[in-house]
Amino acid sequence: MGKPRAPLGPETIRFFRDLGRHNRKEWMDSNRERYRAEVVAPMRALLEALAPAALRLNPAFETSGRTGTNFSRINRDTRFANDKTPYRTQMYLTFPDPHEGEERNAQLYVGVAADAVTAGFRTYSGGSAKRSPLTQTVLPRVAAHPQWLGRQKMRLGRRYESYWYSMEKGEWTKRNGWPLSAEEWKKVKGWVVRKKFTTAAATRASFLREAARAFRDVFPLLEFTASPSWKG
């Protein structure tokens, strides 16, 4: 028997590289079957392989495989794309926090792109700032438990990249590091904590184990930002 392999293969990475060079509707139309075979099928296999690890963390995670819930869309909304290219050159497998209802802005995720694969946690503000979970839920927790995020930084900081976004002059601005203080959290529009893998590493059988470990490591951050039962 051959060695077991991860659901992702080099062909998935090559597809995104080719799409980056030929980001046009005509090219996608002529490569639609290739897209289904080299992106859609492997991503669904990845969902099936990682779903047990996610469900061990929270049995309420949805694993139905719906686009918009477990998978990001390949089509871009060109109204908000600066270069107006019609397709995204990456795809995300997500396990949205089940406490958030329709917003689902806090997620465990795996991101697959042409140059790297990442796994971790992300959360984004939804709707108005006053109604955002980052304002209603996270800000009071940061104020009440000022040392908790610092302990997470100590636990994860050497192995995981952290960055967050604020709004500056109407534009989202990326800030490297951990948002630790209440003053910073008043500005946070999004936060990502992730581990980055080479594309070669993501095609090895060991990637499933590494991604599942990443989910376990960052799951407390998901609970902190979204779970109504979080106690500190």
Note the pLDDT tens digit of each residue in 111-130: 999 999 999 999 998 666 66
Buried-exposed string 152-166: b where 16+ CB fall within 10 A, e elsewhere: bbeebeeebebebbb
Domains of the chain: 10-226 (3.30.930.20)
pTM of the model: 0.92
pLDDT surpasses 90 at 179: yes
Structure token pair of residue 48? 């099936």
Is the model more confident about 135 or about 15?
A: 15
The number of beta carbons lying within 10 Å of the beta carbon of residue 111 is 20
What distance lies between CA 132 and its chain's CA centroid? 19
Three-state DSSP state, 228:
coil
Element (H, E) at 44: helix 41-57
pLDDT (tens digit per residue) in 33-82:
999 999 999 999 999 999 999 999 999 999 999 998 999 999 988 776 67
C-alpha 9/C-alpha 139 separation (Å) is 41
19 phi, psi to nearest 5 deg: -60, -40
**CA atoms 141, 145, 149, 151: torsion sign:** negative
Residue 4 burial by CB count (10 A; 0-12/13-18/19+): exposed, middle or buried? Answer: exposed
Q: What is the mean pLDDT of the chain?
A: 91
Reading phi first (left if > 0) and then psi (alpha if -120 to 50, else beta), residue 37 is in alpha
